[in-house]
Amino acid sequence: MYTPKVLLVNDDSTSLFALASLLDDGDCYQVITARSGEEALHQVLQHDFAVILLDVGMLGLDGFETAEAIHSYPSSASVPIIFVTAHYADEMNRLKGYQKGAVDYLSTPIIPQILQTKVAVFVELARKKLQLQRQKQEVENLNLELQQQRKQDLEHINERKQAEEALRQSQEELRQLASYQERVKEDERKRIAREIHDELGQNLLALRIDIAMLHARTGTTHPKLNKKVHGVLDHIDSTMKAMRSIINNLRPTVLDLGLNAAIEWQVKEFQRRTSILCELQMGEKELAVDDNQAIALFRVLQESLHNVFRHARATKVRIDVNLRDERLFMTVADNGVGIFPGCRRKANSFGLVGIKERISMLGGDLILDTTQGVGTALTVSIPLDTSETADGNVRCLTRTSTSEVKEHRVLPKRTISKRRKESLSGKLKELT
């Protein structure tokens, strides 16, 4: 614990002892004595003093010279000095004492309480000064620690930003790679489907024509052969039907007729295969979206209906396609059991992930609304640039606007317009 020190300087031992006895205050401060100016300077170099009581008329270095020397040292330049004298109490010496830096000038007889009070004040000031110095040092240390911590935090923040930027870049690269792979896969499916249709389909058609002619010519002349030829025709028809199914699985040719026709065909085909009642609401105007958008929305519809059949235990599905607020919306809602907690995180379950990635590639959004025991509604939306063509169709490009479509159609109770019936009837009949 810090104990302030008080220096008494007097060449008279009796006076020095009297002052020391007068200021003996136990543990409040420590009294150190010096018998000359030179010894006082020696003590000042060794200790820090709260106050110095200095006799004026000493042999050798007098009080004034000693005070001047003490204040010449940087370490003791601000130490308060009180002059105590019995013989130099006139105004000239008092003025000289103050000029030498004294804070007070006392002459005998000295009132003990006044001297003790003055010393106690300077001792308390020394304590406060030391306390302030310690607090200042603590604040400086804290500031240094805070600066170092701030520097470390900034480094961590920069590292985190770099890591986040690297992660975003990696995710973007992965998304671009996935988009590229999806385009390559769809292009390859399209190529294979066309090759099957052009090569195998033409050969099967030519073979069926030849077998049909043979079947017609052997109807009356070779009954047994005719029966065999009829079986071959049935096999050829089964093969052609399987071929059309493979082509549709690779890339439905109905997509070439537009997104509206593809959605209608897919909904009708799903209802036929699963016996689940389907209700389709879609505007009458044709949506001439680009190929990437059409394929993505069609695959999303396929995956959504597949999930309904496998997991929902639904008896009814509602599909809603409309243009609203500069976006194309498609909603697939069922009345099934809903999605149970944790089902989205099943291992090797990427249905919703695949849908989300397909839509994100087009700058769209995915909203999944599900309630257990009530059903699930999956809504996807993509930004569109819409403009109406000369024939009244709605042409959809990228990122602009259109008004909401208010006309709707419902499956299975619906009629196809005369204009579309002429272009779709033959193709839909062939596909189904």
Domain residue spans of the chain: 5-110, 255-431
What phi, psi does 310 have (nearest 5°)?
A: -80, -40
Lookup: tokens for 290: 């680009």
Q: Inform me whether the pLDDT recorded for 420 exceeds 70.
A: no
Instruction: Please tell me whether residue 317 adopts helix, strand or coil conformation.
Output: strand
Q: Which of 194-198, 310-314, 368-372, 385-389 has the lowest mean pLDDT?
A: 385-389
Q: State the average pLDDT for the chain.
A: 82
> In 251-381, which ranges are continuous DSSP H helix?
259-274, 291-307, 351-361
Percent residues over pLDDT 70 in the chain = 85
Residue 390 pLDDT level (bands cut at 50, 70, 90) = very low
Q: Which of 84-88, 193-197, 250-254 has the lowest mean pLDDT?
A: 250-254
Give this prediction's pTM.
Answer: 0.51
User: What local confidence, expressed as pLDDT, does residue 101 receive?
Assistant: 87
Instruction: Please tell me whether residue 184 adopts helix, strand or coil conformation.
Output: helix
Tell me how far the alpha carbon of residue 269 is from its chain's centroid. 43
Residue 343 pLDDT level (bands cut at 50, 70, 90) = low
- As a whole number, mean pLDDT of residues 381-407 equals 47
| 339 DSSP assignment | P
CATH of domain 5-110: 3.40.50.2300
User: What local confidence, expressed as pLDDT, does residue 271 receive?
Assistant: 93
Helical packing angle, 223-250 and 202-217, nearest 10°: 160
Enumerate residues 6+ apart whose C-beta is below 8 A from 141: none
Q: Inform me whether the pLDDT recorded for 405 exceeds 50.
A: no
Q: Which of 45-49, 397-401, 416-420 has the lowest mean pLDDT?
A: 397-401
Count other C-beta atoms under 10 Å from residue 174's C-beta: 11
Rounded CA separation 427/206 (Å): 20
Q: Inform me whether the pLDDT recorded for 8 exceeds 80.
A: yes
Lookup: tokens for 181: 């792979």
Strand partners, 84: 55, 106
Residues 314, 354 contacting (CB under 8 angstroms): no
Residue 409 pLDDT level (bands cut at 50, 70, 90) = very low
What CATH architecture does domain 255-431 belong to?
Answer: 2-Layer Sandwich (3.30)
User: What local confidence, expressed as pLDDT, does residue 57 receive?
Assistant: 85
CA-based diameter of the chain, in Å?
166
**Between the CA of residue 409 and those of 278, 281, 282, what are the distances in Å?**
12, 5, 6
Residue 24 pLDDT level (bands cut at 50, 70, 90) = confident
Percent residues over pLDDT 90 in the chain = 31
Q: Strand order of the sheet with strand 104-107?
A: 30-34, 5-9, 51-55, 81-85, 104-107
- As a whole number, mean pLDDT of residues 388-409 equals 38
Regarding predicted confidence, which is higher, 275 or 349? 275
User: What local confidence, expressed as pLDDT, does residue 417 receive?
Assistant: 45
- As a whole number, mean pLDDT of residues 41-49 equals 91
Regarding predicted confidence, which is higher, 326 or 188? 188
Q: Inform me whether the pLDDT recorded for 160 exceeds 80.
A: yes
